[in-house]
Amino acid sequence: MSAATDIWPVVLLVLVLAAAIVRLPRVHEAAVALPAAAVCVASGGLSAAAAGDELRRLGPVVAFLAAVLVVSHVCERDGVFRAAGALLAGAGAGSGRRLLGLVFALAALTTAALSLDATVVLLTPVVFATAARLSLPPRPHVYACTHLANAASLLLPVSNLTNLLAVGAAGASFGRFAALMALPWLVVVLIEYAVFRVYFAGDLAHAGAAPPAPAERPGVPVATLAVLGLMLVGFFLASFAGVDVAWVAAAAAAALAVPALARGRVRVPTLVAAADPAFLVFVLSLSIVVLTAVHHGVGHLVNRLLPGGASLAALVGVAALAALLANLVNNLPATLIMLPQLSGGGLGPLLAMLVGVNVGPNLTYVGSLATLLWRRIARDHDHDVPLGEFTALGLIATPLAIVAAVVMIWMELRLTGGG
Amino acid sequence: MRVLVWVSRTTWRACVDAAARMVHDGSAAEVTLLHVPEPDAPEAAHAAFTGLLGRRRHADPAPVITAEARVAGERLLAEAAGRLGSPCATLMPEGRPERAVVSAAAGADLLIAGRDGDTTRLGPHSLRPPLRFVLDHAPCQVLLVWPGEAPGTHTIPPPPAPGDRPPRPPG
């Protein structure tokens, strides 16, 4: 059997993705992905050596991810997000526009430092509660969180799992990544802000009311924030010293978890649950299944579609293809599929791909057409936001943001002579 | 007369004041305050969460937001009832606001609602689509109030010059 014509790895990949999108209530997607990965290796679709290499490569990434999830969880338990909500309420009262600016700043920073997971799961409820307390329409502010969870995840490798996967493959240091992505990140956030100010002008025009006086002002957890700051600094220093950033993240997680455990704010089972072991198993298994599919024709197909070189047009093409793929099947599989084809091609195409998979999902409000389709089929959309409205917002902001970010990356690489 | 007041976050004061005037002059026999928590926010949050492939289900922020929306709604209704100053019933149905209001209006003689769009000029933009839906479909009389000072008639665009073609009627 010629490896190029085997269809079963693609079928397996589709099955795993379907399980992840459908989200059956009693079957975790890891329970589908792990056996699928085992089948890939056992049947010879992927050599044990290649699978071992992939797992060795992804081990530190997954460990890093687990540590950052624990850090986010303890930050939330320590009241970081509560304090942020109080800050928003204090500074944003009386003006929807001012609140939006503050929410943008906060969401962009949260996504950059703690990943999009933290913004969606931990920040969005706080932002909603703040808008409600200020008697302001919450729509623009909640949408800002969901949009920036994707768009603002460009800045640091920690901001998105897609970045973590790519940085490992590119051998780019944490510092270099951040330096190259800083301006594109800023440009994307500003474009989104401008589009939001126009699109939600009606909702933002209200002045709301003064918030009811809180029963007690939530204290600012200074120690927690200090550890968080040290962790971010540590990421930069570690990349200079050649130390794996996973150690820095683990140290930060320990530094936060131990006092929290001692104070009774968290328990060991919740910490373990926060690290989401099933998700980590899913990521590792998915990468094996994707690699098998890539070796059996998918990689060849992607190669044919990928523009070559590092010209501006090529970079925009890579970003567009990445955005398209991310919108079809979700940004995580899209990254895993495109990475092998891009790892030898220089930093430009790799970063352009990240722009596509990170910012692209804002086109469809559930992050992929596959998910949208499934929700329609499963009639999970009784209270759906009118589809046209959210799509219009995405259609205006997203292509503009993607192109602007890619142009900035191209200019930076030209100026610094990298590539 | 059974009066239903649509307590919407941005226009409720004017609506409640109108209802209070009717209670004062005796034309309102019973008043019901209705607030529908907006489903858009929890839905958008849930949608963003479904885009995070493989994450633990119990981290979904939508139930937290829905609960917060109900708490905020109850606070709003309590404040509105306080401003009304006389006994009233309160309702907080779920679902899309425009449909819940129309459905509740079937049991009322008068619905009081406030213009929730652009209130700086006279014109159709002063009504947002949910309120437009309610006006089109309400099964009872509707009292439409301006949330603040109504803009002057000078804000209406001038009539077309003679010789201009009139706008085509719909249909």
| pLDDT confidence of residue B117 | 82
Nearest CA-CA distance, residue B27 and chain A, Å? 30
Q: How far apart are CA B10 and CA B18, in angstroms?
A: 15
Q: Is B48 on the interface with A (CB under 8 A)?
A: yes
| pLDDT confidence of residue A1 | 44
| Reported ipTM | 0.86
Is residue A322 within 8 Å of residue A353, measured between CB atoms?
yes
Q: In this structure, which amino acid lies at residue B163?
A: G
Its pTM surpasses 0.95: no
Report chain B residues whose CB lies below 8 A from the CB of A371: 50-51
Q: Is B45 on the interface with A (CB under 8 A)?
A: yes
* Residue of A17, A23, A24, A146 to mutate, interface with B, max B Cβ within 10 Å: A146
| pLDDT confidence of residue B124 | 86
- What tens digit of pLDDT does each residue of B3-24 get? 999 999 888 999 999 999 999 9
Number of residues that make up chain A: 419
Token pair belonging to A230: 């040290």
Q: Tell me the pLDDT of chain A (419 aa) as tens digits.
A: 444 457 888 999 999 988 888 877 778 888 999 999 999 999 888 888 989 998 998 898 899 999 999 999 999 999 999 999 999 998 888 889 999 999 999 999 999 999 998 999 999 999 999 998 888 889 999 999 999 999 999 999 989 999 998 887 776 788 889 999 999 999 999 999 999 999 998 888 887 777 766 666 778 899 999 999 999 999 888 888 888 888 999 999 999 999 988 988 888 998 898 888 999 999 999 999 999 998 888 888 888 899 888 899 999 999 999 999 998 888 999 999 999 888 877 889 999 999 999 999 998 777 677 777 777 776 655 555 555 666 788 888 899 999 999 999 999 999 987 54
| pLDDT confidence of residue A66 | 92
Closest CA to A143 of A177, A104, A171, A176: A104
User: Does pLDDT of B38 surpass 80?
Assistant: yes
- The minimal CB distance from B54 to the residues A124, A205, A283 is found for A283
Ramachandran angles phi, psi of A2, nearest 5°: -75, 135
Nearest CA-CA distance, residue B89 and chain A, Å? 22
User: Does pLDDT of B95 surpass 50?
Assistant: yes
Token pair belonging to A323: 């955005």
Element (H, E) at B112: strand B110-114
Q: Is B63 on the interface with A (CB under 8 A)?
A: no
| pLDDT confidence of residue A145 | 94
Q: Cβ contact (<8 Å) for A125 and B68?
A: yes
| pLDDT confidence of residue A382 | 52
Is residue B87 within 8 Å of residue B117, measured between CB atoms?
no
Report chain A residues whose CB lies below 8 A from the CB of B38: 137-139
- The minimal CB distance from B40 to the residues A25, A136, A139 is found for A139
Q: Cβ contact (<8 Å) for B65 and A390?
A: no
Report chain B residues whose CB lies below 8 A from the CB of A273: 56
